[in-house]
Amino acid sequence: MPNPSAPRWTAASETAHLREVLVCPPDHYRWLPTNTIARRTLAESRQAPAQHHLMAQHAELVAAMEQAGVRVHRLRPEPHLPYMVYTRDSVVVTHRGPVLCQLERPQRRGEYAGLIDFHAAQGSAFWQKSSAGTLEGGDIHIIRPGLAVIGHSGGRTDEAGAEQLAGWLRAEGWEVRVEPFDEHFLHLDVLFCMAAPGLAVACVDVLDPGFIAWLKDHGIRCIPVSYRDVMNLGCNILALGEGRVVSARGSTALNAALRAEGLVVLDPELSLFTLGGGGPHCLTCPLSREEETP
């Protein structure tokens, strides 16, 4: 018989086999000047993306994950919350279940309501709820069971929010690094993402050398990504597990490097979303990954 107290969904790493994921259709998506990348896009007077083009690109992302055997859940989009499409930020799923985050931008704070309703409807209880400062999922990296890094720039996740989550994980026996970085980069997943066990992609020229050394000490090697590519969301990837990764088609140099590592790269066209400040990592909230040995 199933244990009624067991969490509905868990994920103890960024790289184990992804089984279920949450996305939000871009029915109401539009570029908002809430981050450096989107402000640059709007300053260049780019034409607003057509709805059918947005839907087609998002469908490519969903098809790539379904092709890999991932079960895709969809959040109901709301007209007044255009950035709901970036489902990474409102909730992060841990080894003990989901943690409700606390978004910083006024334009996004209302996203919590839809996430609470979704998890309640799925019988998925929250393990914790962020209540100190601000906390956003793009800054949270569950590297492997027992090891995590939480970024804080003060722009989205602040130190208080990062330390609160770090405290909950440390109480579980985890090692957690709380990593400061410049607000210019929005979230840590603009600068760093896991690709496979022991392999990350990272903007090594921007990240603190102490962080890169810490990763190396924990057996994690980094594929370097340039600042120019980072600002086009070239570092923002989603590991599917079993040697597969989703990376935007425009990240040609990184995709070649990932393939050279022996990884299978699924590369949907996502340019209309990266112009708004989010890539494959931002557009997906992993709900369930297979258990992984530390």
Q: Name the residue with higher pLDDT: 176 or 47.
A: 176
Which residues make beta-bridge pairs with 23?
74
Q: What is the pLDDT of residue 5?
A: 56
Domains of the chain, first to last? 17-290 (3.75.10.10)
- The stretch 210-232 carries a mean pLDDT of 97
Task: Report pLDDT digits (tens) over 13-60.
Answer: 999 999 999 999 999 999 888 888 888 888 887 788 899 999 999 999
The dihedral region occupied by 135, where left means phi > 0, alpha psi between -120 and 50, and beta the remainder, is beta
For residue 2, is pLDDT > 50?
A: no
At 139 the three-state DSSP class reads helix
What percent of the chain is modeled with pLDDT above 70? 97
What's this model's pTM, rounded to 2 decimal places?
0.94
HSE toward the beta carbon, residue 170, CA cutoff 13 A: 11
49 vs 47: CA distance, rounded Å: 6
For residue 63, is pLDDT > 90?
A: yes
67 vs 79: CA distance, rounded Å: 29
In b/e form, how buried is each residue of 19-32, taking b as 16+ CB within 10 angstroms? Answer: bbbbbbbbbbbebb
Q: Please count the other Cβ atoms lying within 10 Å of the Cβ belonging to residue 121.
A: 8
143 vs 174: CA distance, rounded Å: 11
Could you tell me the pLDDT band of residue 161, with boundaries at 50, 70 and 90? very high
Q: What is the pLDDT of residue 293?
A: 56
DSSP class of 82? G
- The stretch 125-133 carries a mean pLDDT of 97
Q: What is the pLDDT of residue 126?
A: 97
58 vs 50: CA distance, rounded Å: 13
Q: 266 with 245: CB under 8 angstroms?
A: yes
Q: Which amino acid is at 91?
A: V
